[in-house]
Amino acid sequence: MREAPIAVFDSGVGGLSVLAEIQRLLPDESLLYFADCGHIPYGEKTPEFIRQRCSVMAAFFREQGAKALVLACNTATVAAVAELRRDFPDWPIVGMEPAVKPAAAATRSGVVGVLATTGTLQSAKFAALLDRFATDVRVITQPCPGLVELIESGDLHSAELRRMLKGYVDPLLANGCDTIILGCTHYPFLKPMLREMIPADISLIDTGAAVARQLQRLLAERDLLGAGPNRPVRFWTSADPQYFQNILPLLGQASGKVQRFAL
Ligand code: DGL
C-alpha cells in the first residue's frame, strides 16, 4: 500500500499548483492527476453537479488503487468533501479552503481580501470559515469569473488577462487590504502578474504548501508514506489530451503521459 499512488484532482490545470508543492515535499511518491477540463469552470456550476463529477472521479481513482486523495480545488472541496469523506471513510482525503486563518493572523491593516470562485464564496463552508476565523478582521470577497478560463487557455500574460485581474484586485486595494488570499488553485499561476500590480508590502497567501504538509501528516499517521522510487505523474483529462499535454510545461510540469477520461 505504501507504494500505491496519490490521486490529485481539480476541475482543470489549477491543481498543478498544488501538485508542484506535493512533488517538492514528497518526492518519493507516485502521483496521478485528473483534470476535469471538459466541465470547467466549476466556479459557475451547481454544488450538485460538482458532487456528481467528484463521485465519478473518486470511483476512478479507487479503481487505480490510489492510497489518498487530494482535492486540489477549493470549489470542489466546499461542494463535495463532506460526501466524499462519508462515502470513503477509510480513505485519507485532503481538501482545500481559502487561507482565512493565516490571513487573519498576518494582516496589519485589519483588512483581508479574498479572490476566489463564485461557488466558493457563496458556500456555507466559506461562511463558516469566516465565522470561525475572521471575527476580528474585515474581509472583502471578490469573485473572479473569467480568470479560470483564461488560465486554462494557457494565458498568463495577455493584456486581456491583466485588465480583468486589475478589475478584481483594485477594489481590494481601495478598501485597504494588506493581505490577499488566493482562494482558487488556478490563481497562484498569476502571482508574477499580481506582483506587478500590487505594492510590495501586500502579502499573497495560498494554501498549496499547507495542503502538501497535511497530506504528509495523514500518510505518516497511517504508515503510508512512500519510499520511492516514484513513477512519472500520470495525467487524465476529460477534454483534449494533446491540448493538456501542451499546457503542462507552461505551468511548470515536465510533460507526462496524458490520457483521455471519457466519463
Ligand atoms: N481551481 C478551482 C478552485 O480551486 C476552481 C476552478 C473552476 O472554477 O473550475 O476553486
Say yes or no: CB of residue 183 within 6 Å of ligand 1.
Answer: no
Is position 177 annotated as part of the catalytic site?
A: no
**pLDDT per residue as tens digits for the range 230-261:** 789 999 999 999 999 999 999 999 878 999 99
Identify the residue whose cell numbers are 466541465. Answer: 39
Give per-residue pLDDT as tens, 79-120. Answer: 999 999 999 999 999 999 999 999 999 999 999 999 999 999
Instruction: Count CA atoms closer than 13 A to 10's CA, side-chain side.
Output: 21
Ligand 1 contact via 10 beta carbon (within 6 Å) = yes
At 227 the pLDDT is: 87
Those residues with Cβ within 8 angstroms of residue 109's Cβ, 6 or more apart along the chain or in another chain: 176, 177, 178, 179
CA dist., res. 242 & res. 249, Å (int): 13
Nearest CA to ligand 1 atom 2: 73
* Of 39, 67, 72, 33, the residue nearest 235 (C-alpha): 33
CA 80 – CA 49 distance, rounded (Å): 10
The ranges assigned to domains in the chain are 6-96+208-260, 100-205
pTM to 2 decimal places: 0.96
In 3D space, the residue among 47, 63, 250 whose CA is nearest the CA of residue 158 turns out to be 250
Q: Can you give the pLDDT at residue 263?
A: 79
Residue 144 appears among annotated catalytic residues: no
Task: Please tell me if the CB atom of residue 14 comes closer than 6 angstroms to any atom of ligand 1.
Answer: yes
User: All 3 cell numbers of residue 227?
Assistant: 519510499
What CATH number belongs to 6-96+208-260? 3.40.50.1860
Mutate to test the pocket of ligand 1, among 54, 75, 237 (most ligand atoms within 8 A of CB): 75
**Spacing, Cα 117 to ligand 1 middle (Å):** 6
Count of other CB atoms within 10 angstroms of residue 211: 25
Percent pLDDT > 70 in the chain is 100
Write down the catalytic residue from 37, 144, 177, 184: 184
Average pLDDT score, the chain = 96
In degrees rounded to 5, what are phi and psi of residue 156?
Answer: -120, 5
Give backbone dihedrals phi and psi of 157, rounded to 5 degrees, phi first.
-135, -10
Answer yes or no: are the C-beta atoms of 252 and 22 closer than 8 Å.
Answer: no
| C-alpha span between 237 and 259 (Å, rounded) | 6
From the CB of 18, is ligand 1 less than 6 Å away? no
Is the pLDDT at 189 greater than 90, yes or no?
yes
Average pLDDT for 53-80: 97
Domain 100-205 in the same topology as domain 6-96+208-260: yes
CATH number of 100-205: 3.40.50.1860
**Is the CB of residue 109 less than 8 Å from the CB of residue 140?**
no
Return the sign of the alpha-carbon dihedral for residues 121, 126, 131, 136: negative
Is any ligand 1 atom within 6 A of the Cβ of residue 141?
no
For 167-183, how does the pLDDT look when each residue is reduced to its tens digit (9 = 90+)? Answer: 999 999 999 999 999 99
Q: Are 115 and 183 in contact (CB under 8 A)?
A: yes
Distance 14 CA to ligand 1 centre (A): 7
Q: Is the CB of 207 under 6 A from ligand 1?
A: no
Q: Give the CA-trace dihedral at 70, 72, 76, 79, to 10 degrees.
A: 60
Mean pLDDT of the 155-168 span: 97
Mean pLDDT of the region 184-192: 98
Strand partners, 34: 9, 236
Q: What is the pLDDT of residues 109-146, one digit of tens each?
A: 999 999 999 999 999 999 999 999 999 999 999 999 99
pLDDT of residue 231: 85
